[in-house]
Amino acid sequence: MSRLVIVSNRVTVPEPGHPPPPGGLAVAVHAALKSRPGLWFGWSGKIDDGPAVEPQTVERDNVTYVVTDLSTGDYNEYYTGFANRVLWPILHYRVDLAEFNRSDLGGYLRVNALFADHLAKLLKPDDVIWVHDYHLMPLARELRSRGFNNPIGFFLHIPCPPADLLFTIPKQEQTIGALSHYDLVGFQTENDRNNYGRYLAMSGGHQGRDGTSYAVDGRVVRIGAFPVGIETADLAAVAAETVDSGFTRELRDSLQGRKLVVGVDRLDYSKGIVHRVEGYRHFLEHEANWRNRVTYLQVTPKSRSEIPEYGDMSDDVNRLVSEVNGQFGEAAWTPIRYINRSYPREALAGVFRIAAAALVTPLRDGMNLVAKEYVASQDPADPGVLLLSQFAGAAAELDAALIVNPHETEGMAQALRTALEMPLDERQARFASMFERISRQDIDRWAETFLAKLSETRRSFLIGQLR
Ligand code: F6P
C-alpha cells in the first residue's frame, strides 16, 4: 500500500497515549491515516525567528509527524495576513471584511514554496499526497515544478462561493486558480463544487465529457463533492457513557430542571453568534412562559484573536450577552452562560446528550461538524432537536433538522420554540433519519471515497498521456 502524505497548515502532534486533539480537520486527517502508513507535515504552531533549522520529526501511533516553525514575518503575512484576512473572509462570502496587500500575498506564496522545499526531502515516488485547506492552494504547483509526478489531491474544508466572489481575490489565478495543478480537488457540497466548476469555465478551462474534469492550460483537474463526516458510532458510544460522568451530572444538576440549549463554535464572525443571541433574545421577549425554564450554554473558544475583525466581533458578543442577561436574568437564573474555552470531545458529547436543542446557525460554513456531533450524541429514546442554518454545508445532508435562516431573528426564535415543544415521536423520526445518514457517510467513508477517486484520477491521467 502506498504511503499517504498529508499536508495541512497546522499539525498538532497528539500527546503519547492520548486521543487526537479535537477539531474537524485534525479528526478527519487522523481517520485518513488510521488504516495506512502515513506522514503528516505542517506548521508546529510555534514561531521562531532564530537561524533556519530542519523540521522536527516525531513518531506516534504509526504516524510520522514532521513539523516546522514559522518566522514572525511568515506568520503575519501567510497565516494572519493572506490566509485569514483575504481567503477566509472572501470564501465565507465576506468580501467587505477582506484586507489585501501585496506583501501578504508574497508571504503566502513564499510559505507554500518553503513547504514544498521541506516536502521535497521527505517524498518517495509512490507516495500519495493529500493537501488540506485554503492555506495551501499553490502547493501542487510548487511540487510539480520540483518534478514530483505523484498523485496530489486537495480538500477544501471551508465554503467555495460563486465565481464572481472568487474573482474578487486579488491575483486569484495564483491562489484559487492554482488548484488546477492538483489531480483532484474535493469540496464539501455539490453547490461548492459547481461554484468552482463555473470559475474554471470562466477562467478559460474546458469541461470534459464526464462533467467532472476540466482541461486548464494543458493540465487536467477533476473536481468533486465529498461531504466530510464524523466518527459516528464511536461518538454515540462515548455520549452514552459520558452521560453519567461527574462533569455531565454537575451540569445537569445546575440546570435545576430547566431545558438546556447549546451552541459550540470557535469565536469567528462566520459562526453567526451575534445573530443567534439576537434570536434567543427575541425568543425570551416574545415567549414569556419560557423565561426561567431554559438555559442557553454557548461554548466559544477564542480564535485568531490578533485579527481586528475577531476582536470587534468578540466585543459585540460580550456586549449582547450581558444585555440579554441583564434584561431577563434573575437572582437564581442566568439566561445565557457564555464560556470562552474549549472542552474535550468526551465532555462535549455529554453536554450534547442532555441538551434539548442545539443552535448551529452559522452565516456560512463549509460543513459544520458540531451539527453532526450533536445528532450522534443523542439518546435515541429521547433525542434533542437540531436547529441548523441553511448556510451550513451540513444542511445539504441533515434536512431533517429544523432548517433556519440566521438572518431572520423571528424565524430563529419561532424555531427554538418549535424545538422545545416538539412531541417525542417527531423528535425520534427526525433523529432516526439524520443518524442513519451520518452513520452511512461517516469519516472513514469520506477518506476512502476521496482517496479511491484520487488514485483513479491519476491513473486515467497517466494512461491519457501515454495514448
Ligand atoms: O476548517 C477551517 C480551519 O481553518 C482549519 O484549517 C483549522 O484546523 C481550523 O479551522 C482552526 O483554525 P486555526 O488553525 O486558524 O486556528
* pTM, rounded to two decimals: 0.96
List the residue whose alpha carbon is closest to atom 11 of ligand 1: 23
pLDDT at 21: 65
382 is catalytic: no
* Catalytic residue list contains 217: no
Best residue among 6, 7, 10 to mutate for probing ligand 1, ranked by most atoms within 8 Å of CB: 10
Task: Determine whether the shortest distance from the Cβ of 111 to ligand 1 is under 6 A.
Answer: no
From ligand 1's centre to the CA of 242, what distance in Å?
27
Q: pLDDT at position 217, please?
A: 93
Please pick, among 92, 132, 135, 157, the residue that the annotation labels catalytic: 157
Determine the residue type at 23: G
**ipTM of predicted complex:** 0.95
The stretches in the chain having pLDDT less than 50 are none
Indicate whether residue 303 lines ligand 1 (CB < 6 A).
Answer: yes
pLDDT at 467: 56
